Structure 1
Amino acid sequence: KFWGTYRPQVYMGMKTKSPQSLVTGLMWLRQHERYQSELPLRHTCEHGDKLLKYGWLAHDGVNFGIQDVVEQGYSLRTSFVKVPGGRHGGEWTWRVTGTQVGVTGASPVTISLFFYAATDGQGKLISVVKDTKNGRYLTQINGETEELGKFKIIFPAENTGVDTRYHTVSTKAEGLHKLKEAALRKMQATIEKSGNNKDKVLYFLGDSASHRNPPGAKSDVVFHQVTLKLPFEIDIIFESETSSRKSQLSGETFTQELAQWKEKFDQNFEERFPLKDKGYDSAKIAFAKAMLSNMVGGIGYFYGHSLVQSENQKTPVKYWDAGLLTAVPSRSFFPRGFLWDEGFHQLLISKWDRTISEEIIEHWLNLLNKDGWIPREQILGEEARSKVPAEFVVQQNKNANPPTLFLAIESILKGFNKDEINEHDTRFLKKIFPRLEVWYKWFNTTQVGTAPFSYRWRGRKEGTDDELNPKTLTSGLDDYPRSSHPSQDERHIDLRCWMAVASGTMAKIAKVVDPDSAPKFEATHKLLTNHRIMNELHWSAEMGLFSDYGNHSDRVYLTRKTFQPAQPNQRPYTKMVRIEKQKPKLRFTDTFGYVSLFPFLLQILKPDSQQLTQILEDLSARDLLWTEYGLRSLSKRDPLYMKRNTEHDPPYWRGAVWINMNYLAVRALKRYSQPGSRNSEKAAKLYQELRSNLVNNIYNEYARSGYVWESYNDMTGKGQGTHPFTGWSALVVLMMSEQY
């Protein structure tokens, strides 16, 4: 697992799990087009590229992967296979296949592929080049780094046909986040006459006096440009000097290896997620395989430090340098680690390959500081930071995030042999338990409320008139309505439920690794699941729902006001501000949506409870949360349903259908549908309907648009927000296979 596709932010790239890795990657460009502005050189996954589709079709997280990238008029398939060998993490081969699609008989499309290898401040690369009639042909790159020892990257034999051309340059970049800029800086253009008297433009890599390296450039990079017409197939081979091999991993040998891994993947998938037995057709099974593959193919390795702001410091400071292996929510928009997303990711990954999941969980827990805090967003290294707006880089060390890793760990515990936990399982639990305990204690000291047994998310902005309802980013639910006027008197039902889950999971682990400590966790779990206490703190009898409590008014509005400037020579300006038409008071917020469901979502309610009966009735109502596409995040009756939070912030968690919360709802309905309670029949009916609605809509939108989405419109079912979003939206695989 040392090598991997651990660069999810690029369409195709590989690196190692090391602080200063050799990185390899692919860029491409359609030739003979007259581009008026910057060349549309494909490299990092971008919405602006407007690809028809891209993503992994099959990827096992370790040994192989097959990905399709579909452009207008052509598609590229990128495949790789890794094999063990030597003392430095094995060897691999890529295959890039180009195919023309669209109009039959159209002129062949000409593509330039740009393969590159780059160092991150250490190691060396030596190009082996020969001049031919078709250009400067790079036969191979000889290299050496501390982790890899000596190696070579071998390019295919020269094609002597007139339609293939070669260009290569060795240059420097300011860092790995500037590789595309380094290529563009070396790009030149030439005009060529064609047979139909139309000029063609060819963009190629070249050196000239004007192409100087920028000051401070630290990364050595070698680019190999191959320009050719569709269709084509090219193999690129990485070989370690310490490895001995019977034959080169290319040509027919590669084809056979890839086919064998794909066959094994299909077998393992059906064994772990038996969708044929559920009656799914081949198209939906292929979709589910793609969802899993994009989840494990979207695992990245990042190295660097966070920037942290403490209330005791005037300026942010650096966290320590650390590595993080993590899945990412979205390769295009969120190609980095998010703490609360990761717990949902591991629900799926752990069902596929528990060893990958355990390693990722350990990586996250290694980011704890001595107090027990984990930065909720991990922006490690220049490549990751280049994709993040400056205002989101600094992390506040009082701010939490839902401890969803406990969900994943609880799911892993269910897979243990209850009669005899083996040595591997015990070793894993012993590794994580001390860190989990410190993390758990941090929540119980920094996130508690003023009322006994209550909890409060920190990080809300007090005294603001810029937001309709100040965001609670730390909860993960961002603009979901809380009390209108943040105060220390708030208490949040969702955080209390998260801590109930955490307490129960800690008790289960303690029974294995530290039995003496188990009773204290069990006692806390008993308190946090006590229905009487929970109802006193959070049950709004008037509205018949679980609710946050705080200083609240439901008669606040955004309106545009004119302001006089501070300087006399400036014009008046307008902006949207919040006004109150009713003063706030301490009370239940009475908002019905995802937060109201948490005692149900996290299965804290007893199967026969009256509160569960009420929730199931409310879920059945077609004018509250229920839609044909899943449960919407906020009731249509709520005053803030689909309301903007500022003039610049459209509604986010105020009506859209989110898959992580819907997965928890489906999982809870499955549990509460077990025979033996007065609510089981109702829960069973809702389970079948909700599961069917979710699976069908996510699949239909994938078939229509080519992507899985961040959220779904509650009125139309259309995907919206970021795409592809094969983070927690990929939990559709677990819903399809009914694994909870």
Structure 2
Amino acid sequence: MSKPGLRRRLRGNEKATYEESKDEKNEEKWPYAKGQLDPLAKATGAAVVVVMTLLITYFRFQQYLCDIIITPVDSDPIIPANGSLPSVNPERFWGTYRPQAYFGIKSRSKTSPVFGLMWMSQLTNQMPPPLRHWCDQGDRLESYVWLKHDGENFGEQEIKEKLFTVKTDFVKQPGGEHGGDWSARISFIPKDPSLSVVVSSFFYVALDQDNGRLEPKLTKGRLTSVDGWHEDLGSFELQMPNIVATAEKSQVKHSYFISYAKQLDQLKDILVNGLKVEAWDKGRTQPYFTLSGRRVPRDVPGPNFVIKQVTAKLPFTMEVMYESGSFVNRQGHLSKDSFSALIGSKEKEFDAKFEKVFQLEQRNYTVNEIHFAKAALSNMLGGIGYFYGPSLVQSRYNSEPVNYWEAPLYTAVPSRPFFPRGFLWDEGFHNMLIRMWNSEISKDIIGHWMDLMNTEGWIPREQILGVEARAKVPAEFVIQRNTNANPPTFFLPLQSLIKEMIQSDKPSDKAYLKALYPRLKRWFAYYNTTQNGDQPFTYRWHGRDPTLTKQLNPLTLTSGLDDYPRASHPTSDERHVDLRCWIALAAGVMRDIARSLGQEWQTYEDTHNLLTDNQMLDKLHWSPKAQQYSDWGLHTDKARLEKPKPPPNQHPSQRHQHMDTDKIRVVLTEPTRQFVNALGYVSLFPFLLKIVHADSPKLDKILSDITDPTKLWTEFGLRSISRNSKFYARFNTEHDPPYWRGPIWINMNYLCLSALHHYSSVDGPYRERAKTVYTNLRKNLVTNIFKEYERTGYIWENYNDKTGEGKGSHPFTGWSALVVLMMAETF
């Protein structure tokens, strides 16, 4: 087809044809052949193509850089996608996996329905009375503690209010295809039977999102059960019988609330909004609070939040039963006598296993001390949660935070009221205890954590997954940054777990190691590329902010030892001795795994030998002046916090504004590059991780520092920093009290006992001295932690170095529960 014809077809007018013909007439006047471009136009076009290609490449590369942080590592997961479902792991499908609640139950489905308890005292002068739901130190409970919990099948908890005790018992039985049945028994017991105490118990079920259905069943106006369906649970029934054991059955009132919750963190508020006030009885005008029936918005698919309220004079007991629709050969309901019989048998199994594992009776501990140890272990196990969702993360390439991929996390938590979420460096310590009790739980936990690794080898150090977890965290602490690491403490329990798996005949253990190794390999490489120092074979914790003016010593949150004094002026050439020791430990474990799998292990061996070489360690970190291991950097001890001086011409009316400003750091002597001679936990790391040679005179000096009461020794354990340090007990800001500047921390003391135990069992000139220090330190720690538990009802985050009193968040049955291993002398 000719060009004129083509033009006519496309445009359909004669003008186009005329213009095309005119072009043909002028063709011979144009110096270039028809269809060829002017060289300038050709060059310009080529340049445009190049520029566009470069721009596209640039923007694609920028997007690639932005996406790195949210790209999973290219390796087979340790926990398969269906690894938490009942068909694969039925024994751990249901559990008390809502540690932030006083009593909360859910499954390991990513959108599991949640079950839980709230309660309030009635007929009081408080309007309205406080409603208990999520663990809160502000509730000022006398104590709440899992007395026994095996991590899988049952748990017994005791919650002490001022006038009464709440006892929650939970037990499971296997059957069917969806994790079997479970039942809970909730008892309210008055401390003084002569007092008239009236309490309301609220037991509820709620769906997470619109992923199932709930159908409440009423009998004569009372809620008796809830039929439900969920994609991962199939059909189920929650039975809430009307029969309530109580001293005065006539003094029992029932009510219910059927509603809708957009998010799980709104349950308490929705319940409060569903309350109404009624008179307790005809003869008493005193009001009590009762639920208001059905209140479901019209624009939702149906109810997803159902609550049963029982109000009665104490004592009273109620039971709830969850029954799976796929459990077809059930012999009877798990209630009353059958409930008591099953939980009784689980108690006996727990007691027998506890003694077999820890042997405290053989060590002549008292009955109360053994009960305390069982509670410490049980709170660790009862504090295991199951979370699902994305972390909020940011790299230097992201202008705004972005969502990590959605993922599950099965993990213990440090503190149910204060830290009910996963912390990377805490979890390594947690699993020192958990692995002794149940290594399968430990492997499950570690696998979940390792599956959160991105392609860089980074794992967000604080896991805040799901709306309930995020509701407990201030917004400024939610975002996780990929430059920030955390101590790789998982290598502590992995030392023992790997030996067990290497010697195991189980195909599952071999498969686990095979999936674990490439992730650990990437994790190890992450530390060696992102946390290295300017000099070869040196390391520093990244993430310190040199621009801060309100901190006496810029925090090193990534080390886990937040306000422990490092170099006063962060620089890229500072050296952190604790991080060097962590990498040395990791290299040794990596060598063992690689060797067992037939992989190249010599590089890890060489790295381990290099980082544990005492001559190189001493050259980089031994302070000749202070005779201790130290960090090195740009530092001055001569600084203090002062109110900034007011502007010289400030009007008197503005003085109050100046008085409200925070203190800032004033440097009295300019910093120099030097050793940071703050004797404390950081100084001990070459000893804590057993890197110092057993015949080294430096070990003798370390033992002297440990046992010196003017330095680290107390009757309650080793304080975190020497009393002689200029940073001892000093506020790091005007408002932040000392955290790692004096208090006694149990995880570090456990590492110290482990090191002392090691040096007392290997040949060396200081063997007997190490043994004596070990015996005395262990006694001090165990005695004080137990004494404070008896006195206060809690295990604490840390302990005062002058009085031994528990301090910080409580209950803190994360790494403080390592006291059980101290009692058992298991290191």
Structure 1 length-normalised TM = 0.96
- The answer on 1:448 being equivalent to 2:532 is yes
Distance in 1 (CA, whole Å) between partners of 2:239 and 2:599 is 58
Kept in 2, the 8 Å contact 1:34–1:201? The answer is no
Q: 1:27 to 1:708 in 2, by over 3 A?
A: same
Distance in 2 (CA, whole Å) between partners of 1:212 and 1:330 is 35
| Aligned length in residues | 727
- The answer on 1:200 being equivalent to 2:294 is no
Kept in 2, the 8 Å contact 1:173–1:218? The answer is no
Report what 2:357 is aligned to: 272
- The answer on 1:11 being equivalent to 2:98 is no
Q: 2:137 aligns with which of 25, 33, 47?
A: 47
Once the two structures are superposed, residues 210-259 of structure 1 have per-residue CA deviations (whole angstroms, 9 ceiling, x without a partner) of x7869999981001001112112211100011102011110101100000
Once the two structures are superposed, residues 239-297 of structure 1 have per-residue CA deviations (whole angstroms, 9 ceiling, x without a partner) of 01110201111010110000000000000000001001111011000100001100011
Q: How does 1:313-392 map to 2 (within 5 A)?
A: 313-392=398-477
CA apart distance, 1:207: 4.6
Distance in 1 (CA, whole Å) between partners of 2:171 and 2:782 is 31
Distance in 1 (CA, whole Å) between partners of 2:249 and 2:148 is 33
Q: 2:711 aligns with which of 593, 618, 624?
A: 624
The SS at the match of 1:225 is strand
CA apart distance, 1:18: 1.5
The SS at the match of 2:794 is coil
The SS at the match of 1:700 is helix
Report what 1:169 is aligned to: 257
Report what 1:494 is aligned to: 578
Distance in 1 (CA, whole Å) between partners of 2:773 and 2:695 is 16
Distance in 1 (CA, whole Å) between partners of 2:242 and 2:475 is 46
Report what 2:195 is aligned to: 106
Once the two structures are superposed, residues 150-206 of structure 1 have per-residue CA deviations (whole angstroms, 9 ceiling, x without a partner) of 0001112346942111111110123111110110010111234675xx642210110
Q: 1:140 to 1:716 in 2, by over 3 A?
A: same
Distance in 2 (CA, whole Å) between partners of 1:281 and 1:177 is 42
Once the two structures are superposed, residues 530-554 of structure 1 have per-residue CA deviations (whole angstroms, 9 ceiling, x without a partner) of 0111111100011100000000001
Kept in 2, the 8 Å contact 1:640–1:654? The answer is yes
Q: 2:489 aligns with which of 389, 404, 428?
A: 404
Report what 1:126 is aligned to: 215
CA apart distance, 1:668: 0.5
Once the two structures are superposed, residues 483-539 of structure 1 have per-residue CA deviations (whole angstroms, 9 ceiling, x without a partner) of 0000101110000000000000000111111x3411111110000000111111100
Report what 1:708 is aligned to: 795
Kept in 2, the 8 Å contact 1:503–1:521? The answer is yes
Q: How does 1:466-615 map to 2 (within 5 A)?
A: 466-513=550-597, 515-564=598-647, 572-573=657-658, 574-615=661-702
- The answer on 1:736 being equivalent to 2:823 is yes
- The answer on 1:660 being equivalent to 2:751 is no
Q: 1:24 aligns with which of 112, 115, 120?
A: 115
Kept in 1, the 8 Å contact 2:121–2:129? The answer is no
Kept in 2, the 8 Å contact 1:175–1:219? The answer is no
Q: 1:269 to 1:647 in 2, by over 3 A?
A: same
Report what 1:73 is aligned to: 163
Q: 1:339 to 1:563 in 2, by over 3 A?
A: farther
Q: How does 1:205-244 map to 2 (within 5 A)?
A: 205-207=291-293, 220-243=304-327, 244=329
Report what 2:242 is aligned to: 157
Contiguous gaps of at least 5 residues in structure 1: none
**Partner letter of residue 464 of structure 2?**
I
Distance in 2 (CA, whole Å) between partners of 1:85 and 1:600 is 51
Report what 1:91 is aligned to: 181
Q: How does 1:254-333 map to 2 (within 5 A)?
A: 254-333=339-418
Kept in 2, the 8 Å contact 1:373–1:442? The answer is yes
**Partner letter of residue 382 of structure 1?**
V
Report what 1:697 is aligned to: 784
Q: 1:219 to 1:709 in 2, by over 3 A?
A: farther
Q: 1:272 to 1:415 in 2, by over 3 A?
A: farther
Q: 1:620 to 1:148 in 2, by over 3 A?
A: same
Distance in 1 (CA, whole Å) between partners of 2:234 and 2:380 is 31
Q: 2:204 aligns with which of 106, 116, 127?
A: 116
Contiguous gaps of at least 5 residues in structure 2: 1-91
Per mean C-alpha deviation after superposition, the further-off stretch among 715-724 and 555-564 is: 555-564
Tell me the C-alpha RMSD between the 2 structures: 1.9
CA apart distance, 1:314: 1.3
Distance in 1 (CA, whole Å) between partners of 2:782 and 2:499 is 25
Distance in 2 (CA, whole Å) between partners of 1:576 and 1:333 is 28
Kept in 2, the 8 Å contact 1:305–1:380? The answer is yes
Q: 1:343 to 1:606 in 2, by over 3 A?
A: same
Kept in 1, the 8 Å contact 2:260–2:296? The answer is no
**Partner letter of residue 168 of structure 1?**
Y
Q: 1:576 to 1:217 in 2, by over 3 A?
A: farther
Q: 1:593 to 1:215 in 2, by over 3 A?
A: farther
Once the two structures are superposed, residues 532-585 of structure 1 have per-residue CA deviations (whole angstroms, 9 ceiling, x without a partner) of 111111000111000000000010111122445999996642320111110001
Distance in 1 (CA, whole Å) between partners of 2:462 and 2:648 is 37
Distance in 1 (CA, whole Å) between partners of 2:679 and 2:461 is 26
The SS at the match of 1:670 is helix
Q: Rg larger in 1 or in 2?
A: 2
Kept in 1, the 8 Å contact 2:260–2:305? The answer is yes
Distance in 1 (CA, whole Å) between partners of 2:531 and 2:398 is 20
Distance in 1 (CA, whole Å) between partners of 2:189 and 2:280 is 24
Q: 1:168 to 1:659 in 2, by over 3 A?
A: same
Kept in 2, the 8 Å contact 1:497–1:599? The answer is yes
The SS at the match of 1:561 is coil
The SS at the match of 1:575 is coil
Name the structure with the higher helix share. 2
**Partner letter of residue 474 of structure 1?**
T
The SS at the match of 1:622 is coil
CA apart distance, 1:650: 0.8
The SS at the match of 2:458 is coil
The SS at the match of 1:15 is strand
Kept in 2, the 8 Å contact 1:174–1:219? The answer is no
**Partner letter of residue 504 of structure 1?**
G
Distance in 1 (CA, whole Å) between partners of 2:559 and 2:648 is 36
Distance in 2 (CA, whole Å) between partners of 1:417 and 1:212 is 56
Distance in 1 (CA, whole Å) between partners of 2:557 and 2:494 is 24
Distance in 1 (CA, whole Å) between partners of 2:335 and 2:648 is 69
Distance in 1 (CA, whole Å) between partners of 2:218 and 2:126 is 30
